[in-house]
Amino acid sequence: MASAARSASRAFLRSTPATSSFRPAARSSRFALPSQSLRTSARRGYASEAGSGKSSSGGIWALGLAVAGGAGAYFYLNGEPKGPFVPTKDDYQKVYDEVARLLADETDYDDGSYGPVSVQFHQKPMRKEFTDADSSQHQVLVRLAWHASGTYDKETGTGGSNGATMRFAPESDHGANAGLKIARDFLEPVKAKFPWITHSDLWTLAGACAIQELGGPQIPWRPGREDKDVAACTPDGRLPDATQGHRHIRDVFYRMGFDDRESVALIGAHALGRAHTDRSGFEGPWDFSPTVFSNEFFRLLVEEKWNQRKWNGPAQFTDKSTSTLMMMPTDLALVKDKAFKTHVDRYAKDSDAFFKEFSESFVKLLELGVPFQSKPEDRYVFKASE
C-alpha cells in the first residue's frame, strides 16, 4: 500500500504542469560531482579477500626465511596489511537505499506518520509512555534530523548534529523530543547493517532521504560527524516552542546563525506530515498532500482564512473552508510579521525558489557545528528510489 501510494504521488507530480504549486522544482545539477572525485584510493580493511591455499613446501620456505631473519618475507608472501575501511559515495548510497526501502515498507506511510513528518516547533507536550506497539505509528525522520541539528549555538559552538547526543538523557527526555525514540529505534536496523556509519551521520542522511523520497529537492550531504557521550548533551529550551510568536522564532533561528529568509524556508517543511497530540500536543496536517513536498504550506497560509480551534488542546488554528487543516501560532506569526511575510508570499508564488532555498537552508542546518575535513564541494547528491 505504501509503495502504491508513493508511486501515485510521483505519477501525480509527473502529470502536473510545471507552473503548479504542487510541481517540485527541477533538481539542481550544480551540486553534482564527477564520480571519479568521490572515490577514494584507500585500501579497505572492513572485509578481507579470500587467500589462496599454500602447499607444504611453501610453508617450509616461509619458515626458512623467518628463521633466517627475513621478517619481511611474511609481508612479501601475504601482501601489505589492509588499512581501515573508508566508505565511498556508493557505500552511503546503499545506506540511503536501505532507509528508503524501510520507509516504503511501512504501512502507515501514506498519512505522513512513518516518514518525513516535519514538526519543528513544539509546545512541551503531555507525558506519554511509548510502547513497542506504538512505535510503528511515529516515524519522524525529518524531525529527528532537525532536532538533532537545531540545538546549535553559534556563540558557544555547542550542540548541532555532531554527536547524536539525543541518544542520552536528559536530552532524549526534553519536551520537544517527545516521541523521537521511535525514529531512533527505526534506524537501528540500518545502523546494524552498516555498523561503520555514525549515528550522527545516519540521522542526518535519513532526514535528507526522507525529503527526497517525497518529491522534495535534492539535499546535498557529506559525512564527517562523530558520535559523542552524555557529557555533550545540550540544555533544554534550545528548540522552538510552537506556542510562541515572531520574536521567539528569531531568537531560536538567529542563535543558530540563520536569517529571516532561511528561517521561513526551513519552516516550510511543515508541508510534510501532520502533528500528533501525543508528541507535540497539536493535531492535524498543514495541507491536503502531507506525503508530497510542495509549497502548499505557504499558499494556504496566504490564501486561506484561519480560525482558532475550540478544543481542550493548545492554541491552534483551523481552515475556514474545510476545518480539517491546522496551523500553529508560530505558523501564523509568519504572515503577521512583515519581514517574514515577504518570504511567505514569494514562496507561495514560486515553488522553484522555495525548493532551492529550502535545500540550501536544510543543508546548512544539518552541518551546523560539524568540524568537517571535507569541503562543501565534496558533498554527495543521492539518487532517489524509483
Active centre residues (catalytic): 147, 286
* Contacts for 342-345: CB closer than 8 Å, 24+ residues apart: 343/260, 343/261, 343/264, 343/265, 344/264, 344/298, 344/301, 344/302, 345/298, 345/302
Q: Which three cell numbers stand for residue 36?
A: 571519479
Q: CA torsion 291→294→296→301, rounded to 10°?
A: 110
- Which DSSP string corresponds to 54-83? --HHHHHHHHHHHHTT-THHHHHHH-PPP-
Collapse the DSSP code of 307 into the 3-class scheme (helix H, G, I; strand E, B; otherwise coil) and give the result: strand
C-alpha cell of residue 333: 506569526
How far is 279 from 143, CA to CA, in rounded Å? 11
- Spatial contact of 63 and 69, defined as CB atoms under 8 Å apart: no
CA distances to 31, 124, 149, 284 from 173, in Å: 37, 11, 16, 24
CA atoms of 327 and 284, how far apart (whole Å): 9
Half-sphere exposure in the Cβ direction for 307 (13 Å, CA): 9
CA distance 122 to 186: 21
Which residue has cell 538533532?
148
Residue 376 one-letter amino acid: P
> Using only C-alpha atoms, what is the Rg of the chain?
24
